[in-house]
Amino acid sequence: MTDRTAVVVGGNRIPFARAHTAYRRATNVDMLTAAIDGLAARYGLAGHRVGEVVGGAVLKHSRDFNLTREAVLGSSLDAHTPACDVQQACATGLEATIYIANKIRLGQIDDGIAGGADSVSDAPMAVSDGLRRALITANAAKTLPARLKALSAIRPADLVPDPPGITEPRTGLSMGEHQALTTTRWGITRQAQDELALASHLNLARAWADGFFDDLVTPYLGVTKDQGVRADSTLEKLGALKPVFGRGEGATMTAGNSTGFFDGASVAYLADADYATEHHLPALARVVDVEVAASDYTLGGEDLLLAPTYAIARLLARQGLSWQDFDYYEIHEAFAATVLSTLQALGDETYCRERLGLDSALGEIDRSKLNVNGSSLAAGHPFAATGGRIVPTLAKLLHQRGTVDGRPARGLVSICAAGGQGAVAILEAC
């Protein structure tokens, strides 16, 4: 049992669309179903009972408590395929991948699908606590007077709907505002952020033009390509945008170097290595190890979005690897500044000693190995769908690369998430 290997067979996603555009009428269930169906078509899984499907959404309607199972039932997979929902903010897709990989390695399943969907266009809108309590009390009341009394408690202010939260409940700050603090703390310049954003667009545009996504993406509702990617982006255009987060000197974060709101869904297909061979499924990369971490950003004064640095430090130690031992780095671009401050923190002696408990800094990496086919700034970031975008992309890159200096090509995925969390995984080419 212990020698079982979980491999990434491939993946599928729908092109990511700007919120309130092409997918505005699509639900999370619709989009996740489409992502699963495109995967099924690619690998001939129609009618096949998959070991388990796991996925989730960040902006999730309460009626979608069985989001993933509903998507499975609406897909061409065998209806006997079980499913489970997970939710870990923007790390949902990667956490789902970890769940499936672990079950495969434990011998509990032979194959599984991990993914997620998110729609800003179809976001749930809650009623206020006042209205909700009144309605629940009225519903429970046994007599008409009691019911009327309960309803009479409703005040005009209670009728204002409660949109999904975009702020951290414990700090009252939005994610952008948190990152702005981090950006200032680490002295990340506007120029550096814009350069990273530009690279993301140009890399993603090149990958699309090369047909890299031909076997990773299936069009949906007439959208055939990620809507966010701008092949004609330039530093001048990015430099002309007004800052949206931060104040004064620290106001460096713009709509160009921060991710916008997107709708989309993605899935990764994983299998036991032997199972993949027996069933003529390609093995692109194996899941070597994973680590999830959190930062104490409330009372501890740590950075909300630098939790992955803790995960990276622990993972490298466990695997006996150095920060420079990777051929590809896939660091989720929540904001350009997130990636840059992560890299800066890992190269900082004080941070690595005091926060990560290391003897010295992890050092610098070769930036040409970072997000080589673009990332969230260009592709867009439908929260729970980002893990399922990155994992198959990295697996394909590693498989294409094959070996480096006689060892399998190695890559790292890092995704930061709300709540001061971060998930990291190491993959190696098959």
Partner 1 sequence: MARRLDPVELLATSSVGKAIARSSVGRSVATRMGVPPADELRRGITRPVGKIALTEMGESDLVGATLSLLDIDPVLPIIDTPSARMPGENGRSVPPVYESRLGALVIDLSGLRSFSGTELLRGVLRPAMKGLERSGRVIFVAREPESYTDLEPRILAQGLDGLNRTVAKELRGGATSNLIWVKESTTPQALASTLKFLLEGRSAYVDGQSWRVGEAEVPLEAVRSTHPYHGRIVAVTGAARGIGAAIAHTFARDGAIVVCIDMPTSGESLAKVANEIHGTALQLDITVADAGERIAAHVAGRYGEDARLYGIVHNAGITRDRMLANLDEKAWAAVIEVNLMAQLRINEALLDGRPGGLADGGSIVGISSTSGIAGNKGQANYALTKAAIVGLVRAQAPVLGERGITINAVGPGFIETDMTNAIPYLQRVVFSRSNSLSQGGKPVDVAETIAYLADPASAAVSGQVVRVCGQALVGQ
* Positions marked active-site: 90, 381, 416
Give yes or no for a contact between 1 and 277, defined as CB atoms under 8 angstroms apart. Answer: no
Name the minimum Å distance from CB 244 to partner 1.
Answer: 34
Strands in 28-110 per DSSP E: 52-55, 83-85
Q: Is residue 246 a contact point for partner 1 (CB under 8 A)?
A: no
Which CB atom, from 42 or from 206, has the smaller least distance to partner 1? 42
Supply the DSSP symbol for 272. Answer: E
Which CB atom, from 9 or from 91, has the smaller least distance to partner 1? 9
Closest CA to 347 of 203, 188, 194, 181: 188
Considering only residues 116, 176, 246, 282, which one is a binding residue for partner 1 as defined by CB under 8 A? 282
Q: Which helix (H) or strand (E) holds 289?
A: strand 285-294
Residue 38's CB is within 10 A of a number of other CB atoms, namely 23
Name the minimum Å distance from CB 15 to partner 1.
Answer: 10
Considering only residues 20, 21, 25, 47, which one is a binding residue for partner 1 as defined by CB under 8 A? 47
Give yes or no for a contact between 6 and 105, defined as CB atoms under 8 angstroms apart. Answer: yes
Q: Is residue 76 a contact point for partner 1 (CB under 8 A)?
A: yes
Q: Is residue 46 a contact point for partner 1 (CB under 8 A)?
A: yes
Give yes or no for a contact between 132 and 159, defined as CB atoms under 8 angstroms apart. Answer: no
Which CB atom, from 47 or from 300, has the smaller least distance to partner 1? 47
Which CB atom, from 308 or from 392, has the smaller least distance to partner 1? 392
Considering only residues 34, 362, 384, 395, which one is a binding residue for partner 1 as defined by CB under 8 A? 34
Residues 167-226 contacting partner 1, CB under 8 A? 211, 213-215, 217-221, 224
φ and ψ at 17, to 5 degrees?
-115, 145
Supply the DSSP symbol for 261. Answer: -
Name the minimum Å distance from CB 215 to partner 1.
Answer: 6
Name the minimum Å distance from CB 282 to partner 1.
Answer: 6
Give yes or no for a contact between 71 and 23, defined as CB atoms under 8 angstroms apart. Answer: no
Name the minimum Å distance from CB 36 to partner 1.
Answer: 10
Name the minimum Å distance from CB 45 to partner 1.
Answer: 8
Considering only residues 23, 26, 33, 37, which one is a binding residue for partner 1 as defined by CB under 8 A? 37
Question: What three-state secondary structure class fits 367?
Answer: helix
According to DSSP, the β-strands at 410-417 and 328-331 are: parallel
Segment interacting with partner 1 (CB under 8 A) among 178-186, 274-282, 314-322, 338-346: 274-282
Question: What three-state secondary structure class fits 330?
Answer: strand
Supply the DSSP symbol for 256. Answer: S
Q: Judged by CB under 8 A, how many residues of this single chain contact partner 1?
A: 24
Which CB atom, from 35 or from 425, has the smaller least distance to partner 1? 35
Q: Is residue 274 a contact point for partner 1 (CB under 8 A)?
A: no
Which CB atom, from 46 or from 106, has the smaller least distance to partner 1? 46
What's the rounded Cα separation, in Å, for the pair 302 and 149? 48
Which CB atom, from 39 or from 311, has the smaller least distance to partner 1? 39
Which CB atom, from 16 or from 213, has the smaller least distance to partner 1? 213
Name the minimum Å distance from CB 224 to partner 1.
Answer: 4
Token representation of residue 299 = 């009372």
Considering only residues 13, 28, 29, 43, which one is a binding residue for partner 1 as defined by CB under 8 A? 43
Residues 338-357 contacting partner 1, CB under 8 A? none
Residues 6 or more apart in contact with residue 32 via CB below 8 angstroms: 55, 57, 67, 68, 71, 115, 116, 117, 265, 267
Supply the DSSP symbol for 127. Answer: P
Which ranges of 246-335 does DSSP label H, i.e. alpha helix? Answer: 273-278, 307-319
Residues 6 or more apart in contact with residue 420 via CB below 8 angstroms: 294, 295, 296, 297, 298, 302, 304, 305, 307
Q: Is residue 40 a contact point for partner 1 (CB under 8 A)?
A: yes
Tally of residues, the chain = 430
What's the rounded Cα separation, in Å, for the pair 69 and 102? 20
Segment interacting with partner 1 (CB under 8 A) among 35-43, 56-64, 386-394, 398-406: 35-43
Name the minimum Å distance from CB 217 to partner 1.
Answer: 7
Give yes or no for a contact between 73 and 49, defined as CB atoms under 8 angstroms apart. Answer: no
For binding to partner 1 (CB under 8 A), which residues are involved? 34, 37-38, 40-44, 46-47, 76, 211, 213-215, 217-221, 224, 280-282
